[in-house]
Amino acid sequence: MVLFAISMFVPFFAMISLSLSSNNEIFSYPPSLIPKIWTFKNYVNVFSSIPIAKYFFNSLFVAVITTIGQILFSSFAGYSFARLKFKGSDFIFLVILITMMIPPQVNIIPLFFLMRELHLIDTYQALIIPGFFGGFGVFMFRQFFLHLPKELEESSIMDGCNIFETFSKIALPLAIPTIATLAIFTFISSWNSFMWPLIVTNSDGMRTLPIGLAVFKGSFREITIWGDLLACAVICSIPTIFVFLIGKKYFINDLLQGSLKE
């Protein structure tokens, strides 16, 4: 585990270190992971070359709203499939599981036409709404609520709570580990999304960070300035690390729940 952790840490450390080095030092031989002269010029160049603050806001706004929507819809659906037995519920849930096996690239063309017909191209709605729905989140919440003791819900009903109050006051607060796990996966997936934002946005003001990073890499430039590019990559990675550090305790607890018995 230590060797595996080191293998994961070294590239990340090299990215940070080289982003604080001059371009001449990056290509020096023999290479050095620790810069001899520390400089923040690469970060200054990033902020002066592209509207990275706007890209950052777009990515953060889209990722946060998408995560909230994914948790809400998945928790509602998961609780319904776990506790509300209705005609065709098992078949509908099976269809939702089947959608998890479909590559997301298959849905891009019909989803793009749908966004175009709704006049949502190059808007936040087009970036956010498709991320609200996913079979993985529904499956996670359903499995959690299935193992939730029914006595808790029965006691709340005896106290006068309706089904929504039972869900919001009893079931959902107990699902914090599942919420944190889904939030981490959804936020990182939305933050790193490249293909869908590339297709559905046209203007520079609607670009997200992955698109901005690709443009900065050299698509519309004669050469690639690697020091600036590494500085931009460091900025891109900060929110995902921050989100994981906040939710890692709940994430680990959710992974361990299946291996523990009362």
> What is the rounded CA–CA span in Å between residue 259 and residue 192?
31
Q: Residue 35: pLDDT above 60?
A: yes
Judged against a pLDDT cut of 70, whether residue 120 lies above it is answered with yes
Instruction: Report yes or no on 186 lying in a domain.
Output: yes
pLDDT at site 142: 92
Q: What percent of the chain has pLDDT over 70?
A: 91
In a domain, 51, yes or no: yes
Q: Does residue 203 form part of some domain?
A: yes
Which has more pLDDT, 226 or 142? 142
Average pLDDT (53-75) is: 93
Into how many domains does the chain fold? 1
pLDDT at residue 47 above 70?
A: yes
How does residue 62 score in pLDDT terms, banded at 50, 70 and 90? very high
Dist. CA 37–CA 46, nearest whole Å:
19
Q: Are 114 and 52 in contact (CB under 8 A)?
A: no
Given this model, what pLDDT does residue 262 score?
42
Any idea what the CATH number is for the domain that residue 22 is in?
1.10.3720.10
Percent of the chain with pLDDT over 90: 28
Mean pLDDT of 134-151: 89
Residues contacting 212, CB < 8 A, separation 6+:
50, 51, 52, 55, 232
Give the C-alpha separation, 137 to 126, whole Å.
20
Average confidence score pLDDT of the chain: 84
Q: Quick one: average pLDDT of 141-168?
A: 85
Please tell me which of 20-29, 47-56, 113-122, 240-249 the model is most confident about, judged by mean pLDDT. 113-122
Q: Is 191 within 8 Å of 244 (Cβ atoms)?
A: no
Report the pLDDT averaged over residues 66-81.
93
For residue 4, is it within any domain?
no
Decide if pLDDT at 170 tops 80.
yes
pLDDT reading at 30 higher than 80? no
Evaluate whether residue 8 is within a structural domain.
no
pLDDT at 79 over 70: yes
pLDDT given at position 261: 42
Sign of the dihedral defined by the CA atoms of residues 123, 129, 130, 136, in that order: positive
Q: What average pLDDT does range 164-181 have in this prediction?
A: 87
Residue 97 lies in a domain: yes
Torsion of CA 178, 183, 185, 189, to 10 degrees: 160
In a domain, 9, yes or no: no
In a domain, 2, yes or no: no
Domain span holding position 99: 14-257
